[in-house]
Chain A
Amino acid sequence: MNRAAHKAKLIQFLQTIRRPDRPLDLADEHQGLITSGLIDSLAVLEIVGYLEREYGIDFSERGIDPGQLNSIASILDLIERETT
């Protein structure tokens, strides 16, 4: 699966956890998800669950780094690093 496919899948997932009153800016991969108010800090846990489920990423040794999960670009970077 390439980056574009990962992104499409990720966006589909983010649409399910975003705040209903905040639209997702699909053009800006670097938009801060929490800092822009698109998702709340609790939703970071949903993203962790998503990455564990879909890509088998294990956070127990690396730790959860909210900075790595704060934008579409940084999440995609993490997926690429962990799946290649």
Chain B
Amino acid sequence: MTPTALFTLSRQFHEDDRLVAVVSTPWGQAAVWSAATLLLFFYDRTTAALIAPLLALIMGFPTHRHLILSLGGVYVFYQAVVERQRINPGWEADRWLALLLTMALVGGGLYACYRAARSYERLPRLVRRHPLLTLHAIVWMVFVSLLAIPRHGHLMATSIWLAAACFPFLIWRCGYMLLSGQRRRATDSRFREHFFYLWPAYGGTDVPYGKGYDYLQQTAAETMTDRARAQLAGLKLLILAWMWQGALWMINGFVHGLPVDGIPSELSGYHLDVPRLSALIGGQAPLHSSPAWAWASLFVELITRTLKLAIAGHVIIGCLRLFGFHVFRNTYRPLLSQSVVEFWNRFYYYFKELLVEFFFFPTYASYFKTRPRLRLFAATMAAAFLGNVYYHVLRDIGHLAAAGLAGAWSLLFPRVFYSLLLALGIYVSLLRERKRRGRTWPQNGPWGVFLRIKRIAGVWLFYALIHIWNADPPRLTFAQRTDFFLSLFGIR
């Protein structure tokens, strides 16, 4: 085998027919299981302890994949409720009864949503026209009614609070279930075909990785060969997650000078001492006389943020692929994007999909049909600005409610500003892409390379700069962030 062929095989081993044939055998399955368990074990033992038995069961009984994943989901759901009991003082009273009651309440809510999706045509016209608005209106009514229920006290009150605390996680997944109903794809489905993605054993955040029923059905591998191919693609992502983790350690150690396990202290003495962006914004790290260090910190932050997201996403999507769902990656080479909209699509794919499916498409389908530019503008603002802010309000509702009105606004305002800049950038990029469509550009040669690098640099600059208003921790104020931005250009 030539070195080139070997390099191609190492990058695309999941497409190699000989390897796929080997993995399709019982010994091949055992090898995949062992490799996946090992890779996950060194990433996170808790994840490995859950995924390894589920994967073994699915490999043994592939036709019962939904049932096995649903059982895993019930376990994760149970753990999540217990965790919410633990972190909220006063919610541990009557622990087991409250737990059962909460699970019954949430389960009942999910089942009602499933029935609505299944019998979508029988729903009132208003609900059919605005399924997601109805869903969110119901959840907000529940949130408002919580004001009348004491946080602590009797069993029912605690259980209702616990159940409500689960809904920021569930609401977008329930949204996907209703979309399946709207698209008439849920009519013959069973509850367990939905439950496994509502509380996924393969992990995730409030953003549903792998979306919902429709997409998972489309990407589910049915034959042994397809399953083997998906599993190899999953293994590839777990390996990539490790490679990016290594890169992240190197950056933390040699660029920021942070202590990193495994790097000898003699070596960690050699570092560039580039301050962390949050430290610069917060004033904990002195700005050097030249703003070059601040610019360096800005771009390093873009890289580390991308690496962190890629690592987390590769593990979740890797597990989904090991279970036989050949879904898209969450992060796919965003730093090579040549337009703002391309980066948005590649950086956090499932969050972008959430915003597009729940905000962009409904707005685009309903408003300003005779005015194309305004139509595109309204849909973009609905998704990247309003939807983005709304998602974070729901996600952080506990912190925002505890901060009071003024405190909540102060916490939220940088995100509002960031989302506005993002939405405007995407809109301009969409217009430019539309204008560019059908035209050919030089791809090769020095001029083609120059154009590509110029576009990539522009994308980096845009995202690195707007991230100033999105950087953690949230307690950094809008004024601090804006001061830092101005300091980059020598304006203090």
A residues with a Cβ closer than 8 A to B are: 16-17, 20-21, 40-43, 45, 48-49, 52, 59-65, 67-68
A70: nearest chain-B partner, CB-CB: B218
The 4 closest A-B pairs by CB, nearest first: A59-B365, A64-B361, A60-B366, A65-B183
- Identify the interface centre among B128, B361, B366: most chain A CB within 10 Å of its CB: B361
* A63 close to B179 (CB less than 8 A): yes
* A43 close to B437 (CB less than 8 A): yes
* A67 close to B218 (CB less than 8 A): yes
Known A-B contacts: A16-B438, A20-B440. Give 13 more (CB < 8 A). A17-B437, A20-B439, A41-B345, A42-B433, A48-B364, A49-B372, A52-B369, A61-B128, A62-B182, A63-B362, A63-B365, A64-B361, A65-B183
A17: nearest chain-B partner, CB-CB: B437
* A68 close to B183 (CB less than 8 A): yes
The docked-state distance in angstroms from the alpha carbon of A68 to that of B362 is 15
The docked-state distance in angstroms from the alpha carbon of A65 to that of B361 is 9
Q: Does B288 contact A (CB under 8 A)?
A: no
The docked-state distance in angstroms from the alpha carbon of A54 to that of B183 is 22
Q: Does B434 contact A (CB under 8 A)?
A: yes
- Identify the interface centre among B129, B218, B365: most chain A CB within 10 Å of its CB: B365
Set of chain A residues within 8 Å of B20, measured between Cβ atoms: none
* A64 close to B364 (CB less than 8 A): yes
The docked-state distance in angstroms from the alpha carbon of A21 to that of B376 is 26
The docked-state distance in angstroms from the alpha carbon of A61 to that of B365 is 8
* B433 close to A63 (CB less than 8 A): no
* B361 close to A63 (CB less than 8 A): yes
Q: List 24 A-B contacts (CB under 8 A).
A: A16-B438, A17-B437, A20-B438, A20-B439, A20-B440, A21-B440, A42-B341, A42-B433, A42-B434, A59-B365, A60-B129, A60-B365, A61-B129, A62-B182, A62-B183, A63-B183, A63-B361, A63-B362, A64-B362, A64-B364, A64-B365, A65-B183, A67-B183, A68-B183
Nearest-neighbour CB distance to chain A for B240, whole angstroms, equals 21
A45: nearest chain-B partner, CB-CB: B364
Nearest-neighbour CB distance to chain A for B476, whole angstroms, equals 34
* B128 close to A67 (CB less than 8 A): no
B180: nearest chain-A partner, CB-CB: A65
B131: nearest chain-A partner, CB-CB: A63
Set of chain B residues within 8 Å of A21, measured between Cβ atoms: 440
Nearest-neighbour CB distance to chain A for B363, whole angstroms, equals 10
Nearest-neighbour CB distance to chain A for B283, whole angstroms, equals 41
B356: nearest chain-A partner, CB-CB: A41
B433: nearest chain-A partner, CB-CB: A42
Set of chain B residues within 8 Å of A20, measured between Cβ atoms: 438-440
- Identify the interface centre among A40, A43, A49, A64: most chain B CB within 10 Å of its CB: A64
Q: Does B226 contact A (CB under 8 A)?
A: no
Q: Does B214 contact A (CB under 8 A)?
A: yes
Contact with A along B426-441 (1 / 0, CB 8 A): 0000100110011110
The docked-state distance in angstroms from the alpha carbon of A60 to that of B369 is 10
Set of chain A residues within 8 Å of B433, measured between Cβ atoms: 40, 42
Set of chain A residues within 8 Å of B345, measured between Cβ atoms: 41
Nearest-neighbour CB distance to chain B for A55, whole angstroms, equals 14
B441: nearest chain-A partner, CB-CB: A20
Set of chain B residues within 8 Å of A40, measured between Cβ atoms: 433
B345: nearest chain-A partner, CB-CB: A41
Set of chain B residues within 8 Å of A49, measured between Cβ atoms: 372
B440: nearest chain-A partner, CB-CB: A20
* B182 close to A45 (CB less than 8 A): no
Set of chain A residues within 8 Å of B372, measured between Cβ atoms: 49
Set of chain B residues within 8 Å of A68, measured between Cβ atoms: 183
Set of chain A residues within 8 Å of B129, measured between Cβ atoms: 60-61
Set of chain A residues within 8 Å of B430, measured between Cβ atoms: 42
Which residues in window 414-469 of B have CB below 8 A to A? 430, 433-434, 437-440
Contact with A along B363-399 (1 / 0, CB 8 A): 0111001001000100000000000000000000000
* B182 close to A63 (CB less than 8 A): yes
The docked-state distance in angstroms from the alpha carbon of A62 to that of B434 is 26
* B376 close to A45 (CB less than 8 A): yes
* A48 close to B365 (CB less than 8 A): yes
The docked-state distance in angstroms from the alpha carbon of A59 to that of B2 is 53
If A61-B129, A63-B179 touch, does A17 touch B366 (CB 8 Å cutoff)? no
Set of chain B residues within 8 Å of A63, measured between Cβ atoms: 179, 182-183, 361-362, 365
Set of chain B residues within 8 Å of A43, measured between Cβ atoms: 437
Nearest-neighbour CB distance to chain A for B333, whole angstroms, equals 14
A68: nearest chain-B partner, CB-CB: B183
A65: nearest chain-B partner, CB-CB: B183
